[in-house]
Amino acid sequence: MRRVVVTGMGLVTPLGVGVDRVWAELLQGASGVRRIESFDTSDLPAKIAGQVPRGPLSEGGFTADDYLSSKEQRRRR
């Protein structure tokens, strides 16, 4: 049997990034599902989605540079 150790919790969700941020949004009854504004959806049937917010962690956003090298970012696309 293989042992697993949990060293912490982290969340990356449409409500924001981080346990405290997401929990606060949930307690307020917030929804992470919104109209898509980050790209053109005119040719798509869906106009809403749960997108992870981009921006500084201090504002509950996600910035890939904080977690992945530029080489890893290119490889994951």
Q: What is the DSSP string of 24-54?
A: HHHHTT---EEE--SS--TTSS--EEEPPPB
Question: How sure is the predictor about 74, in pLDDT bands with cuts at 50, 70 and 90?
Answer: confident
Q: What is the pLDDT of residue 25?
A: 95
- List, for residues 8-67, the tens digit of each pLDDT value: 888 999 999 999 999 999 999 999 999 998 899 999 999 999 999 999 988 889 998 888
Q: What is the pTM of this model?
A: 0.73
Instruction: Kindly indicate the confidence band of residue 76, based on its pLDDT and cuts at 50, 70 and 90.
Output: low
